[in-house]
Amino acid sequence: LLNIQDLKLAIAGLAILITVLRIVKLPLRLGRGPAPLAIGGVLGSILNSCTGMGGPVPALIVAFQGREIHESRGVLVTFNLLSYLIAIAISLLAGIAQLSWLVSSLWLLPFAALGSFFGIHAVRRVSQESFGLFITGMVGLSGVAGLVSVFMP
C-alpha cells in the first residue's frame, strides 16, 4: 500500500494547490449535480478514515459549486456527521479503535454543543465571500499542517 508519509504529502500538496487556485480566483465551477458531491464524499470519507479530517474535500466541492452558505452548511454538517459515525463504527468493528477511547471523550460533548450553538448563530452573520475565504484559509492551513507533519515529524 501507500506509505503514510507519501499520503500526507499528497493530501497536503493538493490542499495547498487548491488554496492557491482559489486565491488567484481561478474561474473553476463544478456542476451542481450529485456526481461531484458523491466523488467528494468518497474522497472525504477516505481522508476521514485515514486522518480524521475528511471535511476539506466536500467543503471545496460545495465552494466550487457556488452553493450559498446555508445550503453548503447543510451539506457539510450532514456529510461530517454520517462520515464520522460510519468511521467510528467501522473502526470499532475492525478492532482499530476501542470503545473505552470513545467513552473517555464523552466529556467533550457539552463543549461541542456550545460550539455548535455559537456557530449556528454566527453563520447568519457571515457573508458568502467571507465564508469562501474562511473555507479557503482552513484548507490552506490544513495543507501547511500536513507539510509540517511530513517534514518535522
8 A C-beta contact, residue 142 and residue 4:
no
Three-class SS state of 29: coil
pLDDT digits (tens, 9 = 90+) for 49-76: 776 666 777 877 887 788 877 788 888 8
Please give the pLDDT value at position 106.
87
* pLDDT mean over 78-97: 85
Torsion sign over Cα 11, 84, 4, 152 = positive
Mean confidence (pLDDT) of the chain? 81
Residue 146: name the closest of 3, 2, 11 by CA. Answer: 11
Cell numbers at 132, concatenated: 469562501
Please give the pLDDT value at position 2.
66
Please give the pLDDT value at position 103.
85
Q: How many helices (H) and strands (E) does the chain have?
A: 7, 0
CB-based contacts of 69, cutoff 8 Å, min separation 6: 123, 126, 127, 128, 131
* pLDDT mean over 73-98: 84
- Output Rg (C-alpha) for the chain, integer angstroms: 16
**Cα–Cα distance list, 7 to 46, 75, 120, 147 (Å):** 11, 26, 33, 11
